[in-house]
Amino acid sequence: MQNNYIETLELVRSRPSEFVTQLDSLLRDFPEKDSITCRVFKEVIDEIDILPLLKLWKSTKTWFDDDCFNNAAALKIQDSIKASLVERGIKMSVLNESEGSTPE
* Integer Cα distance of 81 and 104 in angstroms: 18
Neighbour-count burial for 40-74, b at 16+ CB within 10 Å, e otherwise: bbbebbeebeeeebbebbeebeebeeeeebbeebb
Question: Residue 19: is its pLDDT beyond 50?
Answer: yes
Q: 65-97: per-residue pLDDT in tens? A: 877 788 899 999 999 999 999 999 888 777 776
Q: CB neighbours (10 Å) of residue 77?
A: 24
Pick from 5-14, 34-43, 93-102: least confident? 93-102
Asked whether the predicted pLDDT for residue 3 surpasses 80, the reply is: no
| Predicted local confidence at residue 1, as pLDDT | 53
Listed by start position, the domains of the chain span 2-97
- CA distance linking residue 48 with residue 81, whole number of Å: 10
For residue 16, pLDDT over 60 is answered with yes
